[in-house]
Amino acid sequence: NSKVIQTPRYLVKGQGQKAKMRCIPEKGHPVVFWYQQNKNNEFKFLINFQNQEVLQQIDMTEKRFSAECPSNSPCSLEIQSSEAGDSALYLCASSLLQSNTEVFFGKGTRLTVV
Amino acid sequence: QQQVRQSPQSLTVWEGETAILNCSYEDSTFNYFPWYQQFPGEGPALLISIRSVSDKKEDGRFTIFFNKREKKLSLHITDSQPGDSATYFCAASAPNTGKLTFGDGTVLTVKP
Domain residue spans in chain A?
A: 5-113
Q: pLDDT 10s per residue in chain B (112 long)?
A: 679 999 999 999 999 999 999 999 999 999 999 999 999 989 999 999 999 999 999 999 999 999 999 999 999 999 999 999 999 999 999 988 889 999 999 999 999 9
Distance CA B35, CA B37 (A): 7
Question: If DSSP states are collapsed to H, E and C, what string results for chain A?
Answer: CCCCEEECCEEEECCCCCEEEEEECCCCCCEEEEEEECCCCCEEEEEEEECCEEEEECHHHHCCEEEECCCCCCEEEEECCCCHHHCEEEEEEEECCCCCCCEEECCCEEEEEC
Distance CA A16, CA B58 (A): 48
Q: Residue range A93-110: average pLDDT?
A: 93
CATH architecture of B4-111: Sandwich (2.60)
What pLDDT digit, counting tens, does each position of A30-86 carry? Answer: 999 999 999 999 999 999 999 889 888 887 655 889 999 998 899 999 999 999 999
Q: Give me the residue spans of the domains in chain B.
A: 4-111
- Between chain A and chain B, how many beta carbons pairs sit less than 8 Å apart? 71
Cβ B33 vs Cβ B50: under 8 Å = yes
> What was the pLDDT predicted at A62?
56
Q: Which of A33, A42, A108 sits opposite B98 (nearest CB)?
A: A33
CA distance A58 to B39: 27
- What residue in B sits closest to A2 (Cα-Cα)? B45
Q: Indicate yes or no: CB of B51 within 8 angstroms of CB of A100.
A: yes
pLDDT of residue B12: 98
C-alpha span between A9 and A89 (Å, rounded): 9
Q: Which stretches of B3-95 are assigned E, i.e. beta strand?
A: 4-7, 10-14, 19-25, 32-38, 45-51, 56-59, 62-67, 72-77, 86-92
| CATH topology assigned to domain A5-113 | Immunoglobulin-like (2.60.40)
Which of A35, A100, A102 is best to mutate for the B interface (most B CBs within 10 A)? Answer: A100
In angstroms, the separation between the Cα of residue A72 and the nearest Cα of chain B is 23
Q: What is the mean pLDDT of chain A?
A: 92
